[in-house]
A and B are shown apart, each in its own frame.
Chain A
Amino acid sequence: MGIQQTFYEAMREHGITRRSFLKFCSLTAAGLGMGPEFAGKIAHALETKPRTPVIWLHGLECTCCTESFIRSAHPLAADVILSMISLDYDDTIMAAAGYQAEEILDQTIAKYDGNFILACEGNPPLNEDGMYCIQAGKPYVEKLRRMADHCKAIIAWGSCASWGCVQAAHPNPTRATPIHKVITDKPVIKVPGCPPIAEVMTGVITYMLTFDRFPELDRQGRPKMFYSQRLHDKCYRRPHFDAGQFVERFDDEGARKGYCLYKMGCKGPTTHNACSTVEWNGGLSWPVKSGHGCLGCAEDNFWDRGSFYSSVTNLNVTGQVEATADKVGGILAGAAAIGVAAHAAASVVSHTKDSNKGGAQQ
């Protein structure tokens, strides 16, 4: 998983001589406003093991995954960015802008072809030729495809990149599409959540750097270490669920006693995430602990399941028509019962007539 090639080796592979490599180093030193004595140090650094380059792209999104990332307490986000990886492109925090920013993408492809990690936050819209998300005058999906072509692997940050999330909710006006449906020839590690927990994000990155391999993924491409259980399996309110003690209204007696939030629509029983174990903001709390049910934010389709406050959710056939199993099924069974009653009545009438006529049937 780690980048085996150093920068120097990569440059040599691209037919660049040692002389021009050293020249590059002195230019870099000069470009940074440092004296020529730094050139040698830069060359040394580049010849030894470099930090793994990460290109972090933003599609249609709310940038909350980045916001979550910088909340990481262990490791600190600053340590990840400055000491563990080389975050060479991330439009939300990078210093350069305009064409100087976009040039970095070319440089990355030239230097680290097949050796950088592509971190995707948000997703590309496909309607209107991709122009619902424009970057440098072009559709974002073009940039995504290009960088994906050259990267080693993709991390899909958050529910946007993993599933589509809010902009892909019915009727998905821009045809926002998750990464794995656009890029099909590269491994995609999904780290869903809207947003994902900070320490889950940095945990995934540090796992890859530490063990030099991808974390084991579940059937849907999520790291097992954080997503293989439902919140409900480790929820501290679970004894109340099992006992049949539920919050029936916000701020009722049960709420003050910390009863289970299932009746308030908690999606803990169907949501795979680490909230009930890792918790949020340095292990301080998580939605259920604060008194609101889980929205199911790490699951596909969680926006289109009808009210967040109901334990029986929308079948999600047509997006937003309220069609829960209980409603559809109730109508079905109700209709059957009425039909049966009517048929029984008709049968009695018909049978009596037949019997009176002398019994055509018997």
Chain B
Amino acid sequence: MNSKVASGPHDPANQRAVYVFEAPVRLWHWLHAFSFAALAVTGYLIANPLPSLAGEASDHFLMGDIRLIHFISAYVFAIGFAVRVYWALVGNRYAREIFYLPFWRPSWWKGLFYEIGFYLFLTRRQHKMLGHNPLAQAAMFFLNTLVTIFMIGTGFALYSEGLGIDSWADRMFGWVIPLIGDSEGVHDWHNLGMWVMLTFVIIHIYMAVRADIIGRESSVSTIIGGWRMFKDDQP
């Protein structure tokens, strides 16, 4: 199930192209990416508003619009994620990778350290991967999957305060506020979550582009077209 070191002649990794990311995964990836971008920009502006506008209050709705975009993107972000979770259950084996870490497998740990060594330039040759390499998998699990859940949980908890105490959002997510302590605390951690995710995105995009340029397999085109291409036939 997990990505693993290619070995025998029948190993699909030795082939030139493998269908890795099914359409729903790809579609979700881009919805996820663009809604995150919208959420991060609007979220930042909610925390640090633009300079004041002059004139009648009724002439403007700047903060209102920023928040509206945030909330629309939030629904895209959350519903997209829900569909993605569903796809993890019914999709191919690569569809499950970002939702768990096979930490009970020694080979996974071996692969993880191997990758770390590779990125520290200790190892020259990178393993071939079909799905995500263990390091990428760990990063995706912690910095994307968990943070996504966290952002949805805290985000809808904050949203519930606007909807009101007996709203659906309050019933589903209201408990998050006392869990964290208070509403201001939820704002702060929600805000920090944005930065954590942004950190992931910076590294993630770099890695993806880098892999395409100097790696052994296709990367950006894979998340666009779904097919993983390999640049050689060696194991």
Contacts and interface: CB of A to CB of B under 8 A. Distances in A.
A contacting B, Cβ–Cβ less than 8 Å: yes
Interface string B204-224: 001000100010100000000
* Chain A CB within 10 A, most for which of B198, B202, B231: B202
A328 interface: yes
Given A243-B59, A244-B63, A245-B53, A315 B183 contact: no
B121 A311 contact: no
A168 B211 CA distance: 52
* Chain B CB within 10 A, most for which of A262, A343, A350: A343
Interface residues of A, number: 61
A272 B183 contact: yes
Given A219-B178, A299-B183, A361 B216 contact: yes
Interface size range of chain B in the complex:
35 or more
Contact of A244 (B52, B161, B183, B214): B52
Interface in A309-347: 311-316, 324-326, 328-330, 332-333, 335-337, 339-340, 343-344, 346-347
A262 B63 CA distance: 11
Interface in B3-27: none
* Chain A CB within 10 A, most for which of B53, B66, B184: B184
B174 interface: yes
A62 to B, nearest CB: 21
Interface stretch (A10-18, A145-153, A225-233): A225-233
Nearest to B56: A243
A82 B227 CA distance: 82
Interface stretch (A39-47, A198-206, A300-308): A300-308
A224 B165 contact: yes
A242 B192 contact: no
A271 interface: yes
Interface of B: 47-54, 57-64, 66, 119, 121, 124-126, 161-162, 164-165, 174-175, 177-178, 181-189, 191-192, 194-196, 198-199, 202-203, 206, 210, 214, 216, 231-232
28 contacts: A218-B165, A243-B53, A244-B61, A245-B52, A245-B54, A245-B57, A246-B52, A269-B183, A296-B184, A299-B184, A302-B184, A313-B184, A313-B188, A315-B185, A316-B185, A324-B188, A325-B47, A325-B188, A325-B195, A326-B48, A329-B194, A332-B195, A332-B199, A336-B203, A340-B203, A347-B214, A360-B124, A362-B231
